[in-house]
Amino acid sequence: MQSVALPPGRHTLRADLYLSGDVVAHASRTLDIEVDPAQSQDWPPFRIEQISSDDPHPRWQFDKSDPTSWVLRYPSGYPLYRALDTGPVRTTQRLSGVSAFVVDVCAEGIIEWVMDPVDEGDLSRLDDLLSGTPAGANPDRWENYSDKMHELAALRGYTGHLDEYNRLARDCASRSLSLFEERD
Amino acid sequence: MPVKIWNRADSTLSSVVETVRPASLRGELFRAEAEALDREIDEMLDRAVALAADVKTAEAEQRAFVKRWAVGRALMESGLVQSKHLDPGEQMSLWQAIARKCRLGVRADGSSEKAWQELTPNREPDPTRLERDVFAVGLWLQEQELATAMMAFGGSRTNAREIYRRGAIRTKNVRDVLARWFEELEPSQRLTLTKPGNFLPLARALATRFPGRGPGSAKRPVHYSDEDLYAEICKVLDPIADELAPSGAESAIENPKSGR
């Protein structure tokens, strides 16, 4: 008996039974080896693209031309990004270098992505985001983040509360950075 | 191994990082590794250009065959594909990254490199096909030395694809034996039989003898010794060669005194 480890993908097992040199029976079976769905890469809910340019660009911006697939773009020539180290993702539990920059813009991007449909009264993205505590996140901190995001959604669209909205949005982004750092 | 996929829109270069690794913010957290790989791909493509330039052949189809082989050999020498850092499922992303660098002619630092654009065909619209046909076939072709591969397929990518797309006869020992079989033919027969229209019946006959599935598919070419395989292939191909390119036929046609 021999055992083999198969990589993800489709594999076929075939067997011929020979009698006096002739094939008298044949059988085959197909095996599909799948990647663990828990490892899927659908987060954050938009693509992230780096623009190779030294010209002035916003720190980040969304391309919403395809409403079903937003793209967050940030420039490689952004002065803060250029000044940061390109090291490992994190040497300790703390984020560092360009990774911290990227996580920061993503945290802000997630807020815009969630809040955009709130203008139309659609809270589905907010519900999706907060539907369960992410693996490795501190439940209390997640609860606080969740409360702040709901407050933010409630303020969305009230122009008289713009300062308060912006302050709360920065607070939410900061909380999500902390949550990211806590992950395993 | 996270890979950097370049793009150009409205003359602006941009890139995304692709990986199967979890917890990576769509790969973006591994951009430093993807950029290191991008620089390795630069070296690999420079090597492919140099390998292709070493071979002098005037015929366009053979030139294209040589380029495909050179890309495969440079890829193999680079060690990129064998890297233990290449996770399952990432090979297609690697092909895509390399294909995009060739198509855009862009180096890791964003500068332009026109020579790479000639490594890939420019009339294949489907990126998946481009990547599969160019890089996977190139890697497969280079398993043989260039002269042997040229002999097995008459320097034709079309012929190579006819064998490549029939998985059961794709093995190196079939190709080596095929090269040996062609080598023992008269040059005129070889020339006739390596024309794509004539090569196709050879590929079909081999695929019929060594089916990919169903009865008779369990014993594959790889299970034969070289000598036994050569004997089997002669049994299959000799009758077709006799029909399509009879020995001495060309000299009979070219000799006006032969009475034909």
Compare all CA atoms of chain B with the CA of A136 and give the residue at the minimum distance: B23
The pair of three-digit structure tokens given for residue B229, joined into one six-digit string: 């395989």
Per-residue pLDDT of A130-145, as tens digits, reads 987 887 788 899 999 9
- Does residue A37 have a pLDDT over 70? no
Question: What amino acid occupies position A89?
Answer: V
Q: Which residues, in sequence order, are bridge partners of residue A17? A: A25
Note whether B41 and B80 are within 8 A (CB): yes
User: B13, B20, B26, B100: best mutation site toward chain A, by most A Cβ within 10 Å?
Assistant: B26
Chain A residue numbers with beta carbons less than 8 Å from the beta carbon of B35 are 86
> Are B213 and A14 inside 8 Å of each other by CB?
yes
Residue of A38, A49, A103 with shortest CB distance to B16: A49
> Are A88 and B32 inside 8 Å of each other by CB?
yes
Chain B residue numbers with beta carbons less than 8 Å from the beta carbon of A27 are none
Q: Rounded distance, CA B253 to CA B14, Å?
A: 60
Q: Which residues, in sequence order, are bridge partners of residue B58? A: none
Compare all CA atoms of chain B with the CA of A46 and give the residue at the minimum distance: B26
- In this prediction the ipTM stands at 0.71
Per-residue pLDDT of chain B (260 residues; tens, 9 = 90+): 889 999 998 889 999 998 887 767 888 888 988 999 999 999 999 999 999 999 887 788 899 999 999 999 999 999 998 877 777 667 888 888 898 899 899 999 999 999 999 888 765 556 566 666 788 899 999 999 999 999 999 999 999 999 999 999 999 999 999 999 999 999 999 999 999 899 999 999 999 999 988 888 888 999 999 999 999 999 999 999 999 988 765 544 444 444 33
pTM of this prediction? 0.78
**A53 min Cα distance to partner chain B (Å):** 7
> Are A9 and B29 inside 8 Å of each other by CB?
no
φ, ψ for residue B234, nearest 5 deg? -60, -45
- Does residue A38 have a pLDDT over 50? no
Question: What amino acid occupies position A40?
Answer: S
Residue B255's pLDDT is what? 43
Mean pLDDT throughout A94-120? 91
Residue B138's pLDDT is what? 93
User: Parallel, antiparallel, or unpaired: how do β-strands A47-51 and A71-75 relate?
Assistant: parallel
Q: Which residue has the higher pLDDT, A32 or A59?
A: A59
Residue B120's pLDDT is what? 80
> Are A102 and B88 inside 8 Å of each other by CB?
no
**B15 min Cα distance to partner chain A (Å):** 5
Chain B residue numbers with beta carbons less than 8 Å from the beta carbon of A108 are none
Q: Rounded distance, CA A11 to CA A24, Å?
A: 24
Residues of A with CB under 8 A from a CB of B: 7-9, 12, 14-16, 23, 26, 28, 35, 38-39, 41, 43-44, 47-53, 73, 86-89, 98-99, 102-103, 106, 183
Query: Percentage of residues in chain A with pLDDT exceeding 90?
Result: 46
Compare all CA atoms of chain B with the CA of A85 and give the residue at the minimum distance: B32
- Torsion angle defined by CA atoms of residues B249, B250, B254 and B257, in that order, rounded to the nearest 10 degrees: -20
